């Protein structure tokens, strides 16, 4: 479809008709700026080839791939979801002709290796901050996800949403797997209380911090290092006990297969690219390159992440992204009540109830394991079943936060009355 449109646009060029499958159409969640130099190098070896980059977020990319008449040749992403779908649909071209070490790939990067998907680089993630911003607001640099719950960071944080960023989805899922469903969401909701905004894209986090619009945020290392090249006040630290984040590439069967799909994957795995990958526009570690800041790497259960992916994305949207004002208010009041001296037992019970209401998701762990519920959820805004569940969760979370706010306001009022008397 896209290739046909491109041919129509360039109908005056004889080469468009003579060699239509010399067009390489690349779907990626990476930025255009990071990929274009690599594709330009590949084109030097194949001068007759033309290429088109389709930059899409994960959900939009899946929608394109689900179209029967798509003509995407290559998929490049750190998001396993795109490749899971293509693998399940048997839509991937075999990579038997490539001499890459799949055993090494499986051992270092994944518990389950998807057949015909190659890893050509990897990243880690951590916390990025603006040192000038921290000094201006007299706050300390964070050292962990848990530290982001500190009241000093109120409305100084920014992050993306797992519904909009595959890398953020991995970060959120890692928290849930390490802490468990209940405690993991408690941590996420409390961090949510300190957010100033939820970025529409993952690289928007680094942009917001660099511009001084927020102080701190979780981010993939390549975005942080790119900012450090231009701004000396940017700090970054990897998060221990987090997974490595592979950069995947696969060739897709489509109605008009390109001539150079497999050759392009061979190019990404070549010594020529691998030796310069970390200093290139991609800013990825090469396959056998060691990290500049070593940390304890943990394995992620990608199968579990895939099974409940829609659930986690929808819950984050309805309980954090759509509730940001209420979350801010609830946790600001909770922290204000915590500072009040001489709370009696009844008041402490009310405070604990307010904390529970503001940190409990509207889906229990057992509900999150319901195969029927997991199967019917999508990210389609027009899917009536998903809309029904999403609206219900948003309403429940909103009601919980309103109750939490009311409890805290009552406790503060009681304290003020007692102090006056």
What is the percent of the chain where pLDDT is above 90? Answer: 71
| Total tally of structural domains belonging to the chain | 3
Residue 289 lies in a domain: no
Residue 290 lies in a domain: no
| Location of structure tokens 């200093």 | 279
Return the pLDDT at 14: 33
Based on the domain organization, do 116 and 257 belong to the same domain?
Answer: yes
Return the pLDDT at 170: 94
Based on the domain organization, do 94 and 66 belong to the same domain?
Answer: yes
| Location of structure tokens 């109830």 | 353
Based on the domain organization, do 326 and 419 belong to the same domain?
Answer: yes
Residue 89 lies in a domain: yes
Domain hosting 384: range is: 308-421
pLDDT band at 236 (very low <50, low <70, confident <90, very high): very high
Residue 67 lies in a domain: yes
Return the pLDDT at 2: 54
Other beta carbons within 10 angstroms of residue 144's beta carbon come to 13
Q: How far apart are CA 380 and CA 289, in angstroms?
A: 39
Q: Using CA atoms of 122, 127, 131, 132 in order, give the dihedral in degrees to the nearest 10.
A: 100
- Residue 101, pLDDT > 80, answer no
Based on the domain organization, do 117 and 177 belong to the same domain?
Answer: no
The tens digit of pLDDT for each residue in 207-226 reads 999 999 999 999 999 999 99
Residue 217: beta bridge partners?
A: 128
The tens digit of pLDDT for each residue in 268-304 reads 999 999 999 999 989 999 998 988 888 889 989 988 9
Based on the domain organization, do 42 and 109 belong to the same domain?
Answer: yes
Task: Single out the residue in 189, 218, 243 at which a domain terminates.
Answer: 243
Based on the domain organization, do 238 and 257 belong to the same domain?
Answer: no
Based on the domain organization, do 312 and 200 belong to the same domain?
Answer: no
Based on the domain organization, do 215 and 103 belong to the same domain?
Answer: no
Based on the domain organization, do 202 and 313 belong to the same domain?
Answer: no
CATH number of the domain to which 105 belongs: 3.40.190.10
What is the average pLDDT value for the chain, to the nearest integer?
A: 90
The tens digit of pLDDT for each residue in 162-186 reads 998 989 999 999 999 999 999 999 9
253: tokens are 């069967």
- Residue 4, pLDDT > 50, answer no
How far does CA 75 lie from the centroid of its chain? 17
Residue 287 lies in a domain: no
Q: How far apart are CA 4 and CA 363, in angstroms?
A: 45
Q: Are 55 and 31 in contact (CB under 8 A)?
A: yes
Return the pLDDT at 318: 98
Residue 48 lies in a domain: yes
Residue 104 lies in a domain: yes
Based on the domain organization, do 232 and 267 belong to the same domain?
Answer: no
Based on the domain organization, do 86 and 36 belong to the same domain?
Answer: yes
Q: What pTM was estimated for this model as a whole?
A: 0.89
Return the pLDDT at 3: 52
Based on the domain organization, do 109 and 193 belong to the same domain?
Answer: no
């Amino acid at each position: 479809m896209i290739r046909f449109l491109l041919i129509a646009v360039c109908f005056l060029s004889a080469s468009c008709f003579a060699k239509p499958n010399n067009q390489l159409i690349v779907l990626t969640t990476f930025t255009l700026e990071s990929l274009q130099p690599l594709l330009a190098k590949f084109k030097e070896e194949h001068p007759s080839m033309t290429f088109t980059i389709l930059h899409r977020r994960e959900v939009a990319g899946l929608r394109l791939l689900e179209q029967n008449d798509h003509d995407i040749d290559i998929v490049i992403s750190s998001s396993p979801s795109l490749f899971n779908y293509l693998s399940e649909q048997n839509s991937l071209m075999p990579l038997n002709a490539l001499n890459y070490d799949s055993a090494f790939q499986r051992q270092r990067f994944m518990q389950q290796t998807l057949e015909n998907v190659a890893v050509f680089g990897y990243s880690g993630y951590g916390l990025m901050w603006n040192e000038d911003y921290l000094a201006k607001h007299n706050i300390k640099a964070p050292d962990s996800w848990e530290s982001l719950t500190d009241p000093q960071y109120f409305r100084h944080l920014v992050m993306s949403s797992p519904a909009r960023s595959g890398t953020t989805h991995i970060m959120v899922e890692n928290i849930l797997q390490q802490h468990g469903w209940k405690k993991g969401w408690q941590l996420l909701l409390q961090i949510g209380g300190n957010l100033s905004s939820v970025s529409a894209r993952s690289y928007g986090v680094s942009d917001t911090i660099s511009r001084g619009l927020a102080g701190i945020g979780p981010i993939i290392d390549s975005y942080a290092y790119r900012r450090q090249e231009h701004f000396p006040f940017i700090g970054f630290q990897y998060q221990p006990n987090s997974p490595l984040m592979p950069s995947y590439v696969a060739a897709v069967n489509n109605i008009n297969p390109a001539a150079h799909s497999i050759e392009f994957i061979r190019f990404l795995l070549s010594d020529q690219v691998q030796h310069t990958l970390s200093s290139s526009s991609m800013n990825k570690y090469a396959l056998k390159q060691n990290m500049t800041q070593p940390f304890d790497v943990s394995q992620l259960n990608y199968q579990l992440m895939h099974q409940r992916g829609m659930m986690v994305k929808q819950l984050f949207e309805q309980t954090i992204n759509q509730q940001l004002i209420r979350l801010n208010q609830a946790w600001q009041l909770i922290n204000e009540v915590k500072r009040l001296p001489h709370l009696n037992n009844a008041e402490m019970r009310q405070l604990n109830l307010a904390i529970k209401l503001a940190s409990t998701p509207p889906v229990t762990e057992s509900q999150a394991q319901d195969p029927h519920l997991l199967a019917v959820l999508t990210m389609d805004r027009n899917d009536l079943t998903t809309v029904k569940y999403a609206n219900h969760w948003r309403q429940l979370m909103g009601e919980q936060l309103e109750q939490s706010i009311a409890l805290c306001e009552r406790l503060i009022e009681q304290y003020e009355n007692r102090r006056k008397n």
